[in-house]
C-alpha cells in the first residue's frame, strides 16, 4: 500500500517537471480574459432571466 503511494508521488513529481508554466504576463492576460468572459456570460444570463420573468408574469397575469 505504501509502495503505491510512494510511486504515485514519485510519478507526480516527474510529471510536474514536464509542465511548462505560463509567464506572469500570460497569466495576467488569461485572468483578464476570464474576468471579462465571466462578466459577459453573467450579463447575458441576467438579461435572459429578466425576459423570461416578464413573459411568465404576463402569461400568469401578475
Domain count, the chain: 1
Q: What's the full length of the chain, in residues? A: 62
pLDDT of residue 13: 95
Confidence check: pLDDT of 62 > 90: no
Question: How many Å apart are CA 18 and CA 54, to the nearest integer?
Answer: 53
What number is the average pLDDT over the span 36-51? 98
- Asked whether residue 44 is assigned to any structural domain, the reply reads yes
6 within a domain of the structure (yes/no)? no
Q: How confident is the model at residue 1 (pLDDT cuts 50, 70, 90)?
A: confident
List, for residues 2-40, the tens digit of each pLDDT value: 899 999 999 999 999 999 999 999 999 999 999 999 999
Structural domain that includes position 39: 22-62
In a domain, 57, yes or no: yes
Q: H-helix or E-strand containing 20?
A: none
Average pLDDT, integer, range 35-62? 96
DSSP H or E run through 28: helix 24-60
Amino acid at each position: 500500500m505504501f509502495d503505491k503511494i510512494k510511486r504515485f508521488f514519485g510519478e507526480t513529481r516527474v510529471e510536474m517537471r514536464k509542465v511548462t508554466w505560463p509567464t506572469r504576463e500570460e497569466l495576467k492576460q488569461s485572468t483578464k480574459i476570464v474576468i471579462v468572459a465571466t462578466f459577459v456570460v453573467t450579463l447575458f444570463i441576467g438579461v435572459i432571466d429578466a425576459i423570461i420573468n416578464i413573459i411568465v408574469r404576463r402569461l400568469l397575469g401578475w
